[in-house]
């Protein structure tokens, strides 16, 4: 199976729905994909990582971006996709999702390559001055410049903590909805009450699944109006069964066949299943960043504010992951940092070349790069 989870950049808003989800990663122990020799690697596809790719694009540098999440957007998508932001310069108000869609649209002319669903595990300096970067998905890169835009850490799916359940992970238990074709004739139980869970439940109802059950601790569900309407329709026509309660156990040894749920009256409800899809949100794990040997302060990477360089040559840190006197964890501050980091990195990317500041308003070179004719 193709290990590399690469996806050409899309300019449309990335809703965490199945249609826009790349295929899940293959097993971490599978053979690595070919090593890519690249000019610049951005770690993190949050708002700052995306803008970093844009600023590098303006300087004629193409980028690869890696993110642990299955979609771009970082905290804006993972934590507050539908909440309003009021302090992006020039945009009176937009949601997290809308901001990410705009950033993707803005960077699209430079065609960065997104490697989603992959966590960067290691960065190792090479004798020739480059860095070898390895992801848990088996992808490796060789590059002279790295931009760490890792925010508060790599986002990972929150697991359903039922001892022993992990042995079914990837076969019967999924933390991202698997392909709908696999649902044919199956009984699917979905745990969660937010957008991703509800979207997956509504999609499963449209699939040839034998039965679909949604489990959430309370009968209070959160999603966009369209998805809530689909859920309501499927509940009222009996296609979707809803159970209010908490998963507290399972049955099955070689094969998982039952999820045990405690309902509001502390009564056990046994749900027969073939597939268990769990959507309990994501939580960040700083983990790998702290092990790359870079100077840190308060769990953040110490940087020089002239170029946002870290303690290692050619490695820059931008956005929520860095620390310097007066640091504010705001998106617009990250945008400034990414701009200076792009200029600062040119001495590693194109050594000896003078880099002139050009205005997007007037530079024909930039217009060409932006595809403006
Ligand atoms: C509820 C809430 C509301 C907010 N409202 C505002 C607001 O109104 N205005 C404002 O300016 N800011 C706001 N913020 C803060 C803002 O979201 C952050 O400052 C911003 O997201 C930082 O962007 P970033 O790109 O640096 O990091 P993030 O958005 O955190 O993105 C980092 C990405 O890096 C990935 N990553 C990390 N480590 C690895 C690794 N090892 N390998 C692969 N991928 C990795 C993560 O999965 C993540 O997707 C808000 C934050 C929250 C939680």
Residue 33 is predicted with a pLDDT of 63
85 and 224 together in one domain: no
24 and 150 together in one domain: yes
| Residue from 52, 64, 75 to probe ligand 1 pocket by mutation (most atoms less than 8 Å from CB) | 75
The verdict on residue 1 lying in a domain is no
The verdict on residue 191 lying in a domain is yes
* Average pLDDT of span 86-111: 97
- The CATH number covering residue 113 comes to 3.50.50.60
Gap between the Cα atoms of 137 and 31, Å rounded: 9
Residue 235 tokens read as 């509940």
Residue 24 is predicted with a pLDDT of 36
* Average pLDDT of span 98-124: 95
Residue 122 tokens read as 């290691």
Asked if 85 and 94 count as a contact pair (C-beta separation under 8 A), the reply is yes
Asked if 245 and 261 count as a contact pair (C-beta separation under 8 A), the reply is yes
Query: Which atom of ligand 1 lies closest to the CA of 67?
Result: 44
What domain count does the chain have? 2
What pTM does this model have?
A: 0.83
pLDDT in tens, 147-157: 999 999 988 88
Q: For residue 69, which of 60, 81, 61 has the smallest C-alpha distance? A: 81
138 and 18 together in one domain: yes
How many Å is the maximal CA-CA distance in the chain? 72
* Average pLDDT of span 50-61: 98
Residue 37 tokens read as 């020799």
Percent of the chain with pLDDT over 90: 79
257 and 299 together in one domain: no
Gap between the Cα atoms of 139 and 25, Å rounded: 11
Lowest mean pLDDT, pick from 152-156, 234-238, 346-350: 152-156
Pairing of strands 300-302, 322-323: parallel
| Residue from 91, 100, 123, 150 to probe ligand 1 pocket by mutation (most atoms less than 8 Å from CB) | 150
170 and 248 together in one domain: yes
10 and 103 together in one domain: yes
Structural domain that includes position 214:
159-280
250 and 174 together in one domain: yes
Verify whether ligand 1 is closer than 6 Å to residue 301 (CB atom).
no
pLDDT in tens, 315-347: 999 999 999 999 999 999 999 999 999 999 999
209 and 169 together in one domain: yes
pLDDT exceeds cutoff 50 at 272: yes
Mean pLDDT of the chain: 89
143 and 174 together in one domain: no
* Average pLDDT of span 156-161: 92
CA of 147 to the centre of ligand 1 (A): 15
Gap between the Cα atoms of 270 and 261, Å rounded: 6
């Amino acid at each position: 199976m193709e290990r590399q989870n690469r996806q050409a950049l899309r300019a449309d808003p990335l809703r965490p729905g199945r249609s826009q989800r790349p295929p899940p990663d293959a097993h971490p122990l599978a053979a690595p994909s070919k090593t890519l020799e690249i000019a610049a690697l951005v770690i993190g596809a949050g708002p700052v990582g995306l803008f970093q790719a844009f600023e590098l694009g303006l300087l004629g540098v193409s980028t690869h971006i890696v993110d642990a999440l299955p979609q771009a957007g970082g905290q804006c998508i993972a934590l507050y996709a539908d909440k309003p932001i009021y302090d992006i310069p020039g945009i009176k108000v937009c949601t997290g999702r809308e901001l990410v869609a705009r950033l993707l649209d803005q960077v699209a002319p430079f065609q960065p390559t997104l490697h989603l669903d992959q966590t960067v595990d290691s960065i190792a300096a090479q004798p020739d001055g480059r860095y070898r970067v390895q992801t848990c998905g088996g992808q490796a890169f060789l590059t002279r410049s790295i931009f760490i835009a890792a925010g508060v850490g790599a986002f990972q799916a929150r697991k359903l903590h039922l001892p022993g359940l992990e042995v079914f992970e990837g076969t019967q238990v999924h933390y991202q909805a698997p392909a709908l074709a696999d649902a044919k004739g199956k009984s699917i139980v979905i745990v969660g009450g937010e957008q991703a869970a509800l979207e997956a439940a509504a999609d499963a109802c449209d699939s040839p699944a034998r039965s679909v059950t949604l489990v959430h601790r309370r009968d209070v569900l959160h999603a966009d109006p369209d998805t809530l309407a689909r859920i309501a329709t499927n509940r009222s026509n009996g296609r979707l069964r809803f159970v209010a309660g908490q998963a507290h156990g399972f049955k099955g040894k070689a094969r998982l066949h039952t999820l045990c749920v405690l309902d509001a009256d502390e009564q056990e409800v046994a749900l027969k299943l073939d597939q268990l899809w769990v959507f309990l949100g994501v939580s960040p794990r700083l983990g790998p960043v702290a092990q790359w040997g870079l100077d840190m302060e308060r769990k953040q990477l110490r940087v020089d504010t002239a170029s946002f360089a870290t303690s290692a040559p050619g490695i820059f840190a931008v956005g929520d992951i860095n620390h310097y006197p007066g640091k504010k964890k705001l998106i617009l501050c990250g945008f400034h940092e990414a701009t200076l980091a792009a200029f600062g990195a040119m001495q590693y990317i194109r050594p000896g070349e003078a880099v002139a500041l050009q205005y997007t308003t007037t530079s024909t070179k930039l217009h060409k790069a932006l595809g403006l004719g």
